[in-house]
Amino acid sequence: MSTPLAGAAGRTRDAALDLVKWLALATMFVDHLRHVWPSLYWVYIPGRLAFPFFCLAIAANLMRPTAGDAKPFPLRYLGLLVLFAVLSEWPYRLLVGSSPQSLNVMPTLVLGLLIAGGVQQPTGQRRWLAIGAALLAMVAHPWLMFGLAGALLPAAFVLALRRPAANWIWPVVLCLAANYWPPFYLDATRGDPFAWLFILVCIAAPLLGLWLLRQPLQGRVPPVRRWAYLFYPGHFLLLVGLRTLFT
């Protein structure tokens, strides 16, 4: 079973999906540069692509044929996310401060995987795991990065991949809800260009990801494999090191 970021060995690669994963990793890294150099506040805008692209990767992996058979939930898939949710919290706090507003993003993706799995195959074990994860996301909303809406976003992408014409709106709505921050919307009512760009990117990100996933790419895209899990805590430590050297 593949991971949210990495495809399984021996399976025909989906170049478009690998491109989505690379863009997710790249925009996440660019977004976090503002924790090293605060003057680069504008990188927050391209950074809004990262989370929806990660969620789309989860949904796309679940919707691949080998993930669609009636079988127990892929525990290795879940286990890797849980493991790196734990391993990433300390590096995350090193970068953003000892009292962050939320946990790192991995717990949100763990719950998102469980919920999306239940939506993709709403029977037996998957259904109950999805219900439990949704209830936990509701309770843990204040501590989850991107909140309850973020945990529901992979499931919305499952629906959009299944019936694009009818369900494309749900990832857009949930992406806006996951990124909702009142000051941006207040600034938008005052005509602030940065705030409007933020809102437009949140709307465009799910649509761009879905469009990319449908493209028959001819060139070879380097595969994103399980090393991508190490990239998440590793890039936090790299940025902490850069901040120590240059600030």
**Does 67 have pLDDT greater than 80?**
no
Q: How far apart are CA 241 and CA 95, in angstroms?
A: 9
pLDDT in tens, 162-198: 999 999 999 999 999 999 989 888 999 999 999 999 9
Domain ranges of the chain: 15-246
Given a contact cutoff of 8 angstroms between Cβ atoms, the answer to whether 32 and 238 are in contact is no
Q: What is the pLDDT of residue 75?
A: 80
Mean pLDDT, rounded, of the chain: 91
Q: What angle do CA 115, 132, 54 make, to 5 degrees?
A: 25
The helix or strand, by DSSP H or E, that contains position 19, with its residue range, turns out to be helix 15-32
**Does 100 have pLDDT greater than 70?**
yes
**pLDDT range class, residue 244, cuts 50, 70, 90:** very high
- From the list 74, 48, 79, 47, the residue with the least C-alpha distance to 61 is 74
Q: What is the pLDDT of residue 98?
A: 79
Given a contact cutoff of 8 angstroms between Cβ atoms, the answer to whether 156 and 174 are in contact is yes
Given a contact cutoff of 8 angstroms between Cβ atoms, the answer to whether 78 and 62 are in contact is no
- From the list 2, 37, 50, 26, the residue with the least C-alpha distance to 146 is 50
**Does 6 have pLDDT greater than 60?**
no
Q: What is the pLDDT of residue 4?
A: 55
pTM of full prediction above 0.85:
yes
Average pLDDT of the residues in 216-245: 93
